[in-house]
């Protein structure tokens, strides 16, 4: 009897804990110099369709135009069966996004990104007949201003890899109003094309999938570039290294793989995908399909007291009863506002207010002024005014969260732990052979830390 009972308990735990493993397979489709890369994109799209697997092809604007010019309607049609994302207009022609956005503030940078990228975005939309579902930066050329620009372009998802911003569990998160698949750590997987270790890669996939499934489910991110199957060197590395900007007439074609070698590479990916498909927990999804598996970023009903306790101690996200809340979400709750997305502050605020308490009337004024600011700008302020003195946003948030009485308000010092989710490493994070030698962008990381008010883990439905 005990044995039976234990078996029942064990089975119910297994059933409750084992969740789906979503695999998002994406291809940065970018080489507009070597025509053999067009054939590689066609072949990959066709092979995967035969397996019933939909991938996400993030296409460069110039690549889409080149496919049109070369009359490759076959490639366009094949890719369209999958999902189309956007991967900048020219990818590696300088200045790349992080290089020019490093010199700009949040709002100007977002406008500038749209000015530079609108034509490419429209071309990909027109040529493929769909609005791209997602965006990812070229190389490591990430910048926080792109979040605002992408929201304006109607792109809801950031699909790429990098270490600029992320959450501890290396799973999807919300940041800047976008659904991010990024900084996936051990959940970025692939079978190497040029190492003879397919068996080891498949075993690693199985153990990672089992781990995710036992935790209730999660995401594995797999990416390739069609050009990797056609050439042995990257099309942009041979032309645009270290910020080089040769005229199009001087562009050199990358070294080709032999047809037999390309065939071997298709075989590696085909085997790897087939192996993943044989795992009953695995579901291949496109970017858009993956997003639909997650709760919306607008939180539902919440426990105000738990939020106040959390925000009084630290300003960073909180996952409470399966509801994920950013510091910005929680500040809105504390201010009695309807849940919605608002941006983080665009500058660093300072506290100049010296006294230890604020009288009730002035604090209530400060609160209603903050509500008005947020409504007007759809953004958090950098500082909150107490007469002609200021509280930094984190000091205001901590003070507001700890305020329980009806008399004078004790000023509390903030503890903006949210900043820890943005890397402090300004050079390695932006390391890319296309960036100028020694390029670093601490300014972008400072700006990213301000926007971390919007950061929170995404939660599966």
The footprint of Zn ion (CB under 5 A) covers 28, 30, 138
Please say which residue, 224 or 385, places its beta carbon nearer to Zn ion: 224
Widest CA span in the chain: 81
Please say which residue, 28 or 395, places its beta carbon nearer to Zn ion: 28
* Contact between residue 156 and residue 286 where contact means Cβ atoms under 8 Å apart: no
**β-strand partners of 358:** 409
Min separation Cβ 74 and Zn ion, Å: 23
* Contact between residue 348 and residue 380 where contact means Cβ atoms under 8 Å apart: no
Please say which residue, 59 or 441, places its beta carbon nearer to Zn ion: 59
Min separation Cβ 412 and Zn ion, Å: 45
**Residue 216 three-state SS:** coil
* Contact between residue 390 and residue 351 where contact means Cβ atoms under 8 Å apart: yes
Min separation Cβ 45 and Zn ion, Å: 17
Residue nearest to Zn ion (CB): 28
Please say which residue, 179 or 234, places its beta carbon nearer to Zn ion: 234
Min separation Cβ 138 and Zn ion, Å: 5
* Contact between residue 174 and residue 458 where contact means Cβ atoms under 8 Å apart: yes
Please say which residue, 30 or 34, places its beta carbon nearer to Zn ion: 30
Min separation Cβ 315 and Zn ion, Å: 35
Min separation Cβ 269 and Zn ion, Å: 18
* Contact between residue 199 and residue 272 where contact means Cβ atoms under 8 Å apart: no
- Distance (Å) of CA 226 to CA 8, 103, 112, 197: 48, 33, 29, 20
Please say which residue, 239 or 392, places its beta carbon nearer to Zn ion: 239
E strands, 13-72, are 21-29, 56-59
Please say which residue, 28 or 343, places its beta carbon nearer to Zn ion: 28
Cα 287 from Cα 416, distance rounded (Å): 31
* Contact between residue 88 and residue 64 where contact means Cβ atoms under 8 Å apart: no
Min separation Cβ 87 and Zn ion, Å: 6
Count how many Cα atoms sit within 13 Å of the Cα of residue 173 in the half-sphere of its side chain.
26
DSSP string, 347-382: S-------SSEE-HHHHHHHHHHHHHHHHHHSB--S
């Amino acid at each position: 009897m005990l044995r039976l009972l234990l078996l029942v308990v064990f089975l119910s735990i297994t059933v409750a804990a084992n969740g789906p493993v979503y695999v998002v397979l994406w291809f940065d489709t970018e080489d507009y110099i070597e025509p053999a890369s067009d054939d590689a994109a066609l072949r990959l799209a066709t092979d995967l369709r035969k397996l019933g697997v939909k991938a996400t092809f993030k296409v460069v604007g110039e690549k889409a135009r080149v496919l049109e010019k070369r009359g490759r309607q076959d490639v366009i049609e094949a890719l369209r069966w999958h999902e189309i994302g956007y991967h900048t207009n020219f990818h590696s022609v300088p200045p790349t996004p992080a290089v020019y956005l490093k010199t700009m503030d949040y709002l100007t940078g977002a406008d500038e990104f749209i000015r530079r990228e609108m034509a490419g975005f429209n071309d990909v939309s027109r040529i493929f007949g769909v609005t791209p579902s997602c965006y990812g930066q070229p190389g490591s050329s990430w910048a926080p201003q792109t979040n605002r620009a992408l929201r304006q372009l109607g792109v809801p998802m950031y699909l790429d890899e990098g270490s600029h911003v992320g959450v501890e569990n290396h799973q999807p998160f919300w940041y800047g109003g976008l659904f991010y698949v990024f900084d996936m750590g051990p959940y970025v997987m692939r079978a190497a094309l040029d190492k003879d270790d397919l068996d080891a890669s498949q075993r690693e996939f199985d153990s990672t999938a089992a781990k995710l499934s036992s935790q209730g489910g999660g995401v594995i991110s797999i990416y390739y570039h069609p050009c990797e199957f056609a050439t042995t060197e990257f099309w942009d590395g041979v032309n645009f290294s270290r910020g080089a900007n040769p005229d199009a007439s001087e562009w050199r074609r990358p070294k080709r793989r032999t047809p037999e070698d390309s065939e071997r590479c298709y075989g590696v990916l085909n085997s790897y995908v087939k192996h993943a498909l044989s795992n009953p927990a695995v579901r291949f999804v496109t970017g858009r399909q993956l997003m639909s598996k997650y709760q919306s970023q607008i939180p539902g009903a919440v426990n105000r007291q738990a939020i106040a306790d959390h925000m009084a101690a630290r300003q960073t996200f909180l996952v409470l009863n399966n509801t994920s809340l950013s510091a910005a979400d929680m500040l809105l709750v504390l201010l009695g506002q309807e849940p919605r997305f608002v941006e983080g502050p665009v500058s660093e605020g300072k506290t100049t207010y010296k006294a230890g308490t604020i009288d009730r009337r002035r604090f209530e004024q400060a609160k209603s002024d903050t509500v008005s600011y947020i409504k007007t700008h759809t953004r958090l302020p950098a500082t909150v005014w107490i007469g002609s003195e200021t509280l930094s946003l984190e000091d205001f948030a901590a003070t507001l969260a700890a305020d329980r009485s009806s008399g004078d308000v004790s000023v509390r010092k903030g503890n903006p732990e949210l900043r820890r989710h943005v890397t402090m490493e300004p050079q390695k994070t932006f390391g890319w052979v296309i960036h100028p030698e020694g390029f670093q962008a601490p300014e972008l990381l400072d700006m990213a830390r301000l926007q971390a008010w919007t950061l929170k883990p995404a939660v599966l439905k």
